[in-house]
């Protein structure tokens, strides 16, 4: 997991796909004037708490480009998010370590219910963004 910062402030979380690519939600890039206005974004990897000084073993990288795989709308007529993904191309690769690595993606669509672990700094039951990385186990649904 990485933290995504806009103008030095925590904005969203993201998942490391490769040392150069981060997957995140498209709505995290909403404040950008254009998808090429990526220099306003920075990622921090290896830090579990948001809002803290960057730890020595953490790594920060500027975002060079924002890639939108699906150029269609990312909200449906009701305002619900759909196709809400972007890929961030970093200015230089992350160095993988014990605390920094890529996510394990499923290679096929699940055919039955199962369990998956999710991570994030998102809203808690009190509607506040968590300052520490949280995890939960959720049930997956068949495709």
Note the pLDDT of residue 51. Answer: 59
37 — pLDDT class (breaks 50, 70, 90): low
Q: What is the pLDDT of residues 102-136, one digit of tens each?
A: 988 776 666 667 788 888 887 777 767 777 888 88
pLDDT tens readout for residues 57-91: 789 999 998 888 877 777 788 888 788 888 999 99
More confident residue, 57 or 14: 14
CA distances from 53 to 3, 48, 50, 92, 126 (A): 13, 11, 9, 21, 25
pTM: 0.81
Q: What is the DSSP string of 30-75?
A: TTSSSTT-GGGEEEEES--BTTSPPPTT-EEEEEEEEE-S--S-SB
Bridge-based pairing state of the strands 86-90 and 21-24: antiparallel
């Amino acid at each position: 997991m990485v933290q995504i910062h806009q103008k030095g402030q925590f904005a969203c979380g993201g998942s490391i796909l490769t040392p150069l690519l981060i997957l995140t939600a498209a709505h995290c890039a909403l404040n950008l004037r254009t998808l090429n206005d990526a220099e306003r974004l920075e990622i921090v990897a290896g830090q579990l708490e948001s809002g803290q000084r960057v730890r020595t073993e953490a790594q920060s990288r500027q975002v060079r480009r924002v890639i939108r795989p699906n150029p269609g709308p990312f909200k449906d007529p009701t305002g619900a998010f759909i196709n809400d993904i972007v890929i961030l191309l970093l200015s230089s690769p992350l160095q993988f370590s014990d605390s920094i690595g890529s996510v394990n993606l499923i290679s096929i669509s699940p055919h039955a219910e199962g369990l998956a672990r999710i991570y994030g700094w998102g809203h808690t039951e009190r509607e506040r963004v968590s300052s520490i990385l949280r995890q939960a186990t959720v049930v997956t649904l068949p495709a």
